[in-house]
Amino acid sequence: MVEEQVEMLLNGDFAVAWAWKHVEPDVVAAFPITPQTLIVEKFAEFVANGEVRTQFINVESEHSAISAMVGAAAAGARTATATAANGLQLMHEILYIVSSMRLPVMMAVANRAVSGPINIHCDHTDAMGQRDAGWIMLFTEDAQEAYDTTIQAFKISENPDVLLPTMVCLDGFLVSHTAMNLKVFGNPKIVKDFVGEVRPVARIKLMGEEVELSLNPRNKIPLTFGPFCYYDYYFEFKRQQIEAMKAVPEIVERVNKEYYELSGRLYGNGRLVPWNVDDADIVAVVMGSAAGTLRWVARKYRERGTKIGILKVRMFRPFPWEEVQKLLENKEVVAVFDRAQDAGAMVGPLSLEVLSALYYSKNRPKNTVTYIFGLGGRDLTPELAEKTFEELIRIKEGKEKPFIKKYIGVRE
């Protein structure tokens, strides 16, 4: 049954703050960085007005924000933080520790280009620098999806079969500061019931005792978190982490579906959101707010009978490579739109994933190209999108040679 919801005018940052308000994490620790600031400012208001019982720690750096998350989550608390760009890079070291300790931390990332030169606007390079840190990574397209995905992230991460942290990405300014009419649950209890009133802390068997997987001093056997591991055990730890990651795709799908039943909003299968991909000759693969732009332009082509489809990748980690492979089988042209730096690499990080998947496909697309776009907040305008679509059509028709990658919207 779809629950009652109220319409609000919120930008993406406020949407995350409202999701936090409805989930009411036990501990939030954060350090301000544009374009994430509105999340923590709004949430600080909720704390100051007693609308949530969260312990809000105004830390002195992002490094300490994520470090406090480790302590709090290991203590059994439900935890959330938010950052962007350089702040996320400062956290880098600890991100690996969070995932290796199997701590279900929720983190919103208002994607921003990384220094230097310093810039405050959107690209995905900040998140892409963390793609091997063992986090679940979900990319959202607009403020509504940011609200919905933030709520879902707690439920995904805290699932006992997962126990991995989740990063929810929203494009800096394009989503974080762009207001839209969106729906939030009228009754926060709906959200609380969905994620659970308190975090379900996993219990494990240890030396014949059942103990809580936390720093709980009441455990019959007190636990040691973060021990020193030599070559005799380290590899097994990492192997188990990979195994946990395998459980994620199905749980993301299930949570997405359960959430749909409450909200009426569905994001594909939770992992991928295809738009007219099945019958398309040309498919653009993209993440974040640019998916909306590409869909809007592609619609006009569809009206004229040109079969363009848009494949939005919502879950970047774990990367749903088998599904991508399947969806892109036998296409005439696949174009990956990559909003991240690729210096020294063959193509951008999203494209590397797609190309790797396609390499093992028995029915590879005839042409695959990459566009690097939008670095440092450079707009992907509908006109620019149209230009690329024209190029892709010419490639499909054999009028133009395919290429490996191109940079679009930049002065060469």
Partner 1 sequence: MVGVKDLKWTPIPIELAKKPDYFISGHRMCAGCAAPVIVKLALKALPNPENVVIVNATGCLEVASTIYPYTSWKRPWIHNAFENAAATASGIEAAFKALKAKAVWKDDLPIVLVFGGDGGTYDIGLQSLSGAVERGHKFVYILYDNEAYMNTGIQRCSSTPQFAQTTTTPAGVVIPGKLEWKKPIGFIIAAHGNAYVATANPYFWIDFVKKVRVAAEYNGPAFIHAISICPRGWYHSSKITMTVSRLATETCLHPLWEFDPENKEYRITDKSLEIARNPEKKVPVEEYLKLQGRFSHLFTPTRRDDIISEIQRKVDRDWEYLLKLAGMK
- Of residues 194 and 319, the one with the C-beta less far from partner 1: 194
57 interacts with partner 1 by CB under 8 A: yes
Give the shortest CB-91-to-partner 1 separation in angstroms. Answer: 10
- 8 A C-beta contact, residue 307 and residue 143: no
63 interacts with partner 1 by CB under 8 A: yes
Stretch that binds partner 1, among 1-9, 91-99, 108-116, 164-172 (CB under 8 A): 91-99
- 8 A C-beta contact, residue 191 and residue 4: no
- 8 A C-beta contact, residue 287 and residue 310: no
# of chain residues touching partner 1 (CB under 8 A): 46
406 contacts: CB under 8 Å, gap ≥ 6: 369, 370, 371, 372
Q: How many CB atoms lie within 10 A of CB 273?
A: 20
| Tokens at 354, concatenated | 């797609």
90 interacts with partner 1 by CB under 8 A: no
Stretch that binds partner 1, among 73-81, 151-159, 276-284, 397-405 (CB under 8 A): 73-81
Stretch that binds partner 1, among 26-34, 269-277, 305-313, 331-339 (CB under 8 A): 26-34
Among 7, 60, 278, 412, binds partner 1 (CB under 8 A): 60
Stretch that binds partner 1, among 93-101, 185-193, 324-332, 403-411 (CB under 8 A): 93-101
The dihedral built from the CA positions of residue 362, 365, 369 and 371, taken in this order, carries a sign that is negative
47 interacts with partner 1 by CB under 8 A: no
Give the shortest CB-47-to-partner 1 separation in angstroms. Answer: 11
Q: Which long-range contacts (CB under 8 A, 24 or more apart) does 264-271 make?
A: 264/2, 265/144, 265/148, 265/183, 267/145, 267/148, 267/149, 267/314, 268/312, 268/314, 269/323, 270/152, 270/314, 270/315, 271/313, 271/314, 271/315, 271/320, 271/323
134 interacts with partner 1 by CB under 8 A: no
Residue 375 DSSP one-character state = G
> Which of 27, 29, 18, 92 minimizes the C-alpha distance to 65?
29
> Which of 214, 235, 217, 170 minimizes the C-alpha distance to 78?
214
Give the shortest CB-237-to-partner 1 separation in angstroms. Answer: 8
Give the shortest CB-37-to-partner 1 separation in angstroms. Answer: 18
92 interacts with partner 1 by CB under 8 A: no
Among 94, 168, 195, 375, binds partner 1 (CB under 8 A): 94
- Of residues 190 and 223, the one with the C-beta less far from partner 1: 223
Distance CA 243, CA 321 (A): 16
Stretch that binds partner 1, among 82-90, 222-230, 347-355, 363-371 (CB under 8 A): 222-230
Residues near partner 1 (CB under 8 A) are: 26-27, 29, 53-55, 57-61, 63-65, 67-77, 79, 93-94, 97, 198, 214-219, 222-230, 233
